[in-house]
Amino acid sequence: MRLADLCAALQLTAPAANPEVSGVTHNAAWVSPGDVFVAIRGAKVDGHSFAQQAAQRGAAAIAGEGWPLAEACPLPYVEVHSARAALADFATELEGNPSRRLKVVGVTGTDGKTTTSWLTAHLLRSAGLDTGLLSTVGYQLGDGALQHFPAHFTTPEAPQVQATLRQLADTGGQAVVLEASSHALALERVRAVEWDVAIWTHLSSEHLDFHGTLEQYFAEKRKLIERSPFAVLNADDPWTQRLKLGQHVTYSTEGNRADWQAQHIEEQSGGLAFKVVSPAGTFDAFLPMIGRFNVSNALAGMAAAHHLGATAEQLAAGLASFAGVPGRMEQVTRQTSMPSSLGPRVIVDFAHTPPSLEKALGTLRATTSGQLIVVIGSAGGPRDPSKRGPLGEVATRLADEAVFTEEDCRDTPLSDILSAMAGGAQAAGRSNYCLVPDRREAIGHAVRLAGPGDTVLLAGKGPEETLERLNETVPWNEVEEARAALELWG
């Protein structure tokens, strides 16, 4: 595509030069020949300072929100109102607006996004739709293997989102489920995605280092609801009442008035049994997952899939065949032949906020005959440090023993994080905790504490593939760490 044609499609003033354009990026180190380099002004660095590097790597043009040196720039310069919006708009146009060729479900909320996304994608596949998935765990094209973006795309930007959507559409995909985090919405990473259904799971305090206030966090998340023609909303979440409502359905597991309701919920050894009362009809359902809160995620997924054509029979069958989500209430088994019943039960979960940790521990307490032990840390840096004390309080209130350890301390002294967590426990009058700074040692310690019939919850890391320390980032696999500890048990 010629630069002039790209600018015309987006109603931008084109420069005199008209090179061929083949891609777009905001990182000069990622520039390939023919790319438009979008110079984004950050809090500390102005992307325009990398213009020369972008030119050396073969950029075809530069775009930005105005630049005094534009006339001296060796490349055509396109002035835009918002650099981040332009990054998304250029990517969407260059990829041919792929979301228009797909049924697109967006999922947002503080907790439950990933599980709800995976459930929804599975239900759509069970209903016969070739469905892709973009989640924080990875992405899938149809029902293929889980894939991961390269390390430098840990958080996919708009060009990677649009390229993945195009790849899915080009290979026969019919639908896609896309997690829409508050960062993705605020930073325009999912701008120009044409949504068909939006799911709202739940809102609680998180990422206030980035958003500043809970109100601003809410404002970013509600964009997904406002941009979608149809919404699936959690009637059990007080924030739902503040959303601008168009066409929508609601869901509830707590007896609130809602279109989709789960009744007679039973937590069985093999999963969750419940009755669904909904616009699709009334039917019995079984979900092979632990955690009563997952019934809420299942209702959300069923409501979205039904809106896109799934029948009650397809929904029930899809739920029953769901294999779960990596790092979400995932039970770790030994590789040896020793029966798991002879050792403790070890669960890996991503719970890293006080509400999600409370749900996870409450669920495991209801299904544990012995002791409940939790390993938990808290992120460093400015990432909502106010949750560290409450995490310590929740851990020691609901578990018999809590092991406080590292999660991703980044530039914060780990001792400060652990002290804050311990302070939360002490303020509540509890002393059933210990501090084990090294996470591998903490996992080993917790497993050694456990006996047959006990449960150990490893919370906070879930499926993440790295562990961030003060001066290094190391590879990490929580499930493998748990399995190694289990092999040494007894």
What are the residues whose beta carbons fall under 8 Å from the beta carbon of 35, sequence distance 6 or more? 21, 22, 23, 24, 25, 54, 58, 59, 60
Q: Is 271 left (phi over 0), alpha (psi -120 to 50) or beta?
A: left
Task: Establish whether 363 is an annotated binding residue.
Answer: no
Contact (CB, 8 A) for 136 and 179: yes
Question: Is residue 447 within a helix (H) or strand (E), and if so which, with residue range?
Answer: helix 439-449
Task: Establish whether 115 is an annotated binding residue.
Answer: yes
- CA 223 to chain centroid, in Å, comes to 17
DSSP output for 321-357: T---BTTBSEEE--SSSS-GGGS-EEEEE---SHHHH
Taking the C-alpha atoms of residue 168 and residue 279, their distance in angstroms, rounded to an integer, is: 30
Per-residue DSSP letter, 31: -
Q: Between 83-94 and 158-170, two packed helices, what is the crossing angle to 10 degrees?
A: 20
Nearest to 386 by CA among 202, 206, 203, 204: 206
Taking the C-alpha atoms of residue 424 and residue 121, their distance in angstroms, rounded to an integer, is: 39
Task: Establish whether 35 is an annotated binding residue.
Answer: no
For the chain, what is the largest distance between any 2 Cα atoms, rounded to a whole number of angstroms?
A: 75
Sole residue written with tokens 């396109």 = 78
Task: Establish whether 416 is an annotated binding residue.
Answer: no
- For residue 380, give the 3-state DSSP assignment: coil
Taking the C-alpha atoms of residue 446 and residue 358, their distance in angstroms, rounded to an integer, is: 19
Q: For Cα atoms 85, 89, 91, give the angle at the middle one, nearest 5 degrees.
A: 120
Task: Establish whether 113 is an annotated binding residue.
Answer: yes
Task: Establish whether 111 is an annotated binding residue.
Answer: yes
Task: Establish whether 333 is an annotated binding residue.
Answer: no
User: What order of strands is seen across the sheet that includes strand 103-108?
Assistant: 138-140, 131-135, 175-179, 103-108, 197-200, 231-234, 248-252, 260-268, 271-278, 281-287
Contact (CB, 8 A) for 111 and 353: yes
Task: Establish whether 131 is an annotated binding residue.
Answer: no
SS3 letters for 167-192? HHHHCCCCEEEEECCHHHHHCCCCCC
Taking the C-alpha atoms of residue 346 and residue 290, their distance in angstroms, rounded to an integer, is: 13
Task: Establish whether 112 is an annotated binding residue.
Answer: yes
What are the residues whose beta carbons fall under 8 Å from the beta carbon of 480, sequence distance 6 or more? none
CB atoms within 10 A of CB 452: 14
Binding region for ATP: 109-115
Binding-site residues from annotation: 109-115, 154-155, 181, 189
